[in-house]
Amino acid sequence: MTRHADFVPEGVIPAVLLPFHNDFSIDEPAFRAHLRHVGAVEGLSAVTINAHSTEVASCTFEEQRRVMEITADTLGDRLPIVHGVWADGSLEAGRIARAAEAGGASALLAFPPGPFTMGQNPAMVIAHFKCIADASSLPIIVFQYPLASGQGYPPDTLLKLLDAVPTIRAIKDWTPVVQQHEWHVRTLHALPRSVNVLSTNSAWLFSSLVLGCRGLLSGSGSVIADLQARLFRAVQANDLVEARRLNDRIYPLARVFYDAPFVDMHNRMKEALVMLGLMPRAVVRPPLVRIEDAERARIRVALIEAGLLDGEGRVAAE
């Protein structure tokens, strides 16, 4: 078991996918191969597991623990592991956090509880995160959902939360409102205990990073971690010519991955990896279902436009 004790959530953090067999069981050899492929990319800060991208909502506690074991065994000596905490109940969230730390995770990504869609107040939010923080000493990344979902934290609530739970070190900002996103960047970075803003606005990543995010945490990194890492470096270096060039390659994939219905985004990423010869099959667990041939054709075109496949549909040489 390897933990990166000095890990600070920043930089480029892909959220990997979870391959399944046709009977919906976890394909462990394919998962290890996927981890090795993503983990070999230069310039990554960590990888994320047990999140949206690994279909955590359809995984049992034991399956999440097994995903952690495989990831620690495959990548743990090279990269920190961010472990998702997905639970509607705060006590269960604490149990997951405790198991993640025991398994070798270096940070936690805390999803908002589902009941918050029916309403929340600051006391509820703080109580939930304190259950997680009391169960683990790991740094916490708050997953900031859109406010319209009911699961996002309003500015006043977010500031009270950050003050009450000092192990929160970053937010994964899914805010689709540019003005609110910029407020997060300006305000959280300027706090006496600075909290990093990580973009997860992968459909407009270039614009988001230019606002000053200190990193990105993205499921599309399962397919284009290299392009994302290069884009982040270019923005950090203020090389906007190179950043725009890289964004032109990312754009066609962002357009198809994040099309409606949004829930199919990781489904589409699996199809892309199959086309690239990097995953044996694109099986997803119900209630998700495999996408149709017409949509797969659009993904293939996007991979060609991004320069990842050539005009004949073969993997392109960089």
pLDDT per position as a tens digit, 121-180:
999 999 999 999 999 999 999 999 999 999 999 999 999 999 999 999 999 999 999 999
Q: Tokens 């706090």 — which residue?
A: 191
| DSSP three-state, residue 81 | strand
Q: Which of 29, 34, 30 is nearest to 47 (CA)?
A: 34
For residue 315, the model assigns a pLDDT of: 83
> Cβ contacts of residue 138 below 8 Å, gap of 6+?
97, 100, 101, 105, 106, 107, 108, 167
| Residue 52 counted as domain residue | yes
pLDDT at residue 98 above 90? yes
| Residue 132 counted as domain residue | yes
pLDDT at residue 16 above 70? yes
pLDDT at residue 1 above 60? no
The model's pTM: 0.97
| Residue 317 counted as domain residue | no
For residue 2, the model assigns a pLDDT of: 64
CATH of the domain at 78: 3.20.20.70
Residue 176 burial by Cβ neighbours in a 10 Å radius (0-12, 13-18, 19+): middle
pLDDT per position as a tens digit, 30-46:
999 999 999 999 999 99
| Residue 196 counted as domain residue | yes
Q: Which helix (H) or strand (E) holds 49?
A: strand 47-49
**Residue 5 binned pLDDT confidence (cut-offs 50, 70, 90):** confident
pLDDT at residue 312 above 90? no
Tokens linked to 129: 């995160």
pLDDT per position as a tens digit, 226-262:
999 999 999 999 999 999 999 999 999 999 999 999 9
Q: How many CB atoms lie within 10 A of CB 123?
A: 11
Overall residue count recorded for the chain in this entry: 318
For residue 4, the model assigns a pLDDT of: 87
Tokens linked to 177: 């409102």
Q: Tokens 């198809």 — which residue?
A: 256
CA–CA separation, 296 and 303 (whole Å): 11
Percent of the chain with pLDDT over 90: 96
Query: Chain-wide mean pLDDT for the chain?
Result: 97
CA–CA separation, 34 and 180 (whole Å): 35
Domain count, the chain: 1
| DSSP three-state, residue 281 | coil
Residue type, 301: V
- In sequence order, what are the beta bridge partners of 124? none
pLDDT per position as a tens digit, 45-82:
999 999 999 999 999 999 999 999 999 999 999 999 99
Q: Domain range spanning residue 92? A: 11-237
CA–CA separation, 29 and 26 (whole Å): 9
| Residue 100 counted as domain residue | yes
Contact 111, 71 (CB under 8 A): no
| Residue 163 counted as domain residue | yes
For residue 313, the model assigns a pLDDT of: 76
For residue 186, the model assigns a pLDDT of: 98
Residue 137 burial by Cβ neighbours in a 10 Å radius (0-12, 13-18, 19+): exposed
| Residue 309 counted as domain residue | no
CA–CA separation, 64 and 245 (whole Å): 38
Residue type, 180: Q
pLDDT at residue 6 above 70? yes
